[in-house]
Structure 1
Amino acid sequence: MNRGQGRHLCPSGLHLFEHMMVSPWTVFTALVVISAVGVVTFIIEFIKKTGRNHSAESATASPTFLEDPHSLQRVACPSIFDPAEKYISLIIPAFNEEHRLPGALEETMNYLQQRAAADNSFSYEVVIVDDGSNDRTPKIAFDFVRKHTIDVVRVILLGRNYGKGEAIRKGMLHSRGELLLMLDADGATKVTDLAKLEYQICKLAEKGLQSGAGASNSSSPMISDVAVAAFGSRAHLEKQALATRKWYRNFLMKGFHLVVLLTAGPGIRDTQCGFKMFTRAAARKLFTNIHLKRWCFDVEIVYLSKRLNIPMIEVSVNWSEIPGSKVQLTSIIHMLFELVLIRLGYGLGIWKIHT
């Protein structure tokens, strides 16, 4: 009897076991779904954390001080919300730029001094933001402060490396100009081209004044009261660049530009040129909202300009590649990740835009 029962149950047990077995394709699909959910959850939590950090920085920002190398006294930084004290501010982010910074600064100071000599109303400042350099960059920057005084050249030390976007944001928020220009420490774009951006930005701002823009901010509005942005562009050099770069770099850049187009929309062909000018009103709106600290803050600026209805214009500039670039092929991955953050952060309403 027991043997018969054993022979009868064994096939049924095997049949049940076969039904309980899961196919490899089902296991693979489940793993893919779990991984995708995990990645999306991580990205959303990262976006939320970035938003919380941004809000905390805005709410509890402690005063930033400058150090005068002559008196060794701390000088309080101005705020972008203060009235302008200079005509133009040049913000230069610098991270380990001991070799390229001196030449770029000399060229910049020579140009600014020549303009000031020819026009008494032209006042300026150069704000160097050291992004946690571990070489002689801070020393070189302070040498220029000693040479030109702290009223003309100022150095902000971030203490550690945050990223180019954060260095520029910090410099913008503590500048005194009616116009604010960001430019790279390598001197790849000729500083003389700031006149091109200046002309276009003033032209747009004057139109804004005629239409009543900025009137609510002041009884006698100025160009700096109208929010306008001008973007230096290397788009006219694209054919030459495509001919000299390796095919895979061109492929990656074309793909990156496509993703940028999908993220920020059309209008600005070259979002990554480090030569951009803003009126004080535009800088106040943009750099109190910006979240990204590293690679794609430029794209976020374009995105925010559209959301805040800030007029933008793209201006061709002279540009030459300077040895020592910190952008590598692996940087494309970080850029794509940050583009995803922009779309999700603002698209899901996690990142708020304050007007």
Structure 2
Amino acid sequence: MASPATHHHHHHLLPFSLSLSLLLFSLVVVMVLGVSAFLLEYVRKIGCKHSLERDAVSDAFFEDPNSLKKVPCPSIFDPAEKYISLIIPAYNEEHRLPGTLDETLSYLQQRSATEKSFTYEVLIVDDGSTDRTAKVAFDYVRKYKIDNVRVLLLRRNHGKGEAIRKGMLHSRGELLLMLDADGATKVTDLEKLESQIHELARSVNKVNSVASTTTSSSSNLSDTEIAACGSRAHLEKQALATRKWYRNFLMKGFHLVVLLTAGHGIRDTQCGFKMFTRAAARKLFTNIRLKRWCFDVELVYLCKKLRIPMLEISVNWSEIPGSKVRLTSIAHMLFELILIRVGYGLGIWKIHT
């Protein structure tokens, strides 16, 4: 028979473990609530900032080193003045930018020489670089004139998404292409995206002009909402073989989270080679909220929500060393993906149409 002492001891144990688990439980609840409150507040802040930025009229000018006059900054809400705009975000790219610009501009000049209707502009967005990126960029403005090459200077580093958003909102093209400063994608591949956009626009407008006989049938390209994404999905097998196992592991994990955030449809969201019609860009880039990592995923998400058709088109892509993705970036990416789900999912971020 157990002595009363041990019996007494058992008696005390239960309330103690219970209070401990209650304490732990309440700690967990407090933490969860704290994290949720932080997230919601963060999401709300981004939303407020965004609505302020959306309504702010840009008083930006382009500096023209040739005439030293200030060239007024166009808006995505103005009608198109060029056939195509190329937007190149650049952060500390003094070394890689010249090669990319030489190749890009020689291609654009060649095409505009053979096709009269082919007019272009290249917009380099200097994302607060601390090296000679701006100087390099302005050399091209001097050489090719302000009507063809423009530089947008952001006072401090905002992030690639913000640089592209700013470039898009101040472009003049019917078609707008974002591409990376490192020249990972061949510029001639823009023809693949362009021809598919034209093809889809024709079929969309054919259907519309049949449906509504009242509107003029000369529906132009810049009013048809279409997005086309360059994709490296076809290179995946080869890429998996050449990269370190942990990078592939992170990549697969990232793709899974992207799938959970934006849904399926686009296999490679992260390729920096994307083309939009003016109407699509107007809707997408006045809505986009993320500034750094996952704005690509947000674009895909917005396309779905706004019912903008997205084409995924294979492009040539060469892995350029000097990727700015670090391990900490993965944490940032996951955080931003959560923001997309929370912000749009709970309707804190309104989608303006």
Q: Which residue, 168, 173, 177 being the options, matches 1:172?
A: 168
Question: Match of 1:288, SS?
Answer: helix
Does the 8 A contact of 1:54 with 1:291 survive in 2? Answer: yes
Deviates more, 1:136-145 or 1:244-253: 244-253
Equivalent residues in 2 for 1:45-84 (5 A)?
A: 45-84=41-80
Q: Residue 134 of structure 1 corresponds to which residue in structure 2? A: 130
Deviation of residue 336 (structure 1)? 0.6
Does the 8 A contact of 1:230 with 1:315 survive in 2? Answer: yes
Q: Residue 294 of structure 2 corresponds to which residue in structure 1? A: 296
Q: Residue 3 of structure 2 corresponds to which residue in structure 1? A: none
Which residue identity does 1:262 align to in structure 2? L
Q: Residue 37 of structure 2 corresponds to which residue in structure 1? A: 41
Q: Which residue, 301, 304, 307 being the options, matches 1:306?
A: 304
Identity of aligned residues (%): 72
Q: Residue 268 of structure 1 corresponds to which residue in structure 2? A: 266
Question: Match of 1:106, SS?
Answer: helix
Q: Residue 244 of structure 1 corresponds to which residue in structure 2? A: 242
Count of residues in Structure 1 that have an aligned counterpart in Structure 2: 342
Does the 8 A contact of 1:209 with 1:223 survive in 2? Answer: no
Residue 198 of structure 2 is aligned to residue 202 of structure 1? yes
TM score, norm. by length of structure 2 = 0.93
Q: Which residue, 120, 125, 130 being the options, matches 2:121?
A: 125
Which residue identity does 1:72 align to in structure 2? L
Question: Match of 2:208, SS?
Answer: coil
Deviation of residue 297 (structure 1)? 0.4
Q: Residue 330 of structure 2 corresponds to which residue in structure 1? A: 332
Deviation of residue 22 (structure 1)? 6.3
RMSD: 2.1
Which residue identity does 2:249 align to in structure 1? F
Q: Residue 8 of structure 1 corresponds to which residue in structure 2? A: none
Question: Match of 1:330, SS?
Answer: helix
Q: Residue 5 of structure 2 corresponds to which residue in structure 1? A: none
Q: Residue 235 of structure 1 corresponds to which residue in structure 2? A: 233
Deviates more, 1:213-222 or 1:130-139: 213-222
Name the CA distance, whole Å, in 2 between partners of 1:77 and 1:327. Answer: 32
Does the 8 A contact of 1:101 with 1:186 survive in 2? Answer: yes
After superposition, the Cα gap between the structure-2 partners of 1:186 and 1:119, relative to the gap in structure 1 and judged at 3 Å, is same
Q: Once the two structures are superposed, what CA deviation does each residue of 1:198-252 show, in whole Å capped at 9, x if it has no partner?
A: 0111111111111228989977320111000000000000001111111111111
Which residue identity does 2:113 align to in structure 1? A
Q: Which residue, 155, 179, 187 being the options, matches 1:183?
A: 179
Name the CA distance, whole Å, in 2 between partners of 1:78 and 1:242. Answer: 43
Name the CA distance, whole Å, in 2 between partners of 1:171 and 1:298. Answer: 15
Which residue identity does 1:27 align to in structure 2? L
Deviation of residue 136 (structure 1)? 0.2
Q: Residue 86 of structure 1 corresponds to which residue in structure 2? A: 82
Question: Match of 1:278, SS?
Answer: strand
Does the 8 A contact of 1:217 with 1:225 survive in 2? Answer: no
Q: Once the two structures are superposed, what CA deviation does each residue of 1:1-34 show, in whole Å capped at 9, x if it has no partner?
A: xxxxxxxxxxx9xx99995886443333322221
Question: Match of 1:109, SS?
Answer: helix
Q: Which has the larger radius of gyration?
A: 1
Deviates more, 1:336-345 or 1:211-220: 211-220
Deviation of residue 60 (structure 1)? 2.4
Name the CA distance, whole Å, in 2 between partners of 1:267 and 1:16. Answer: 59
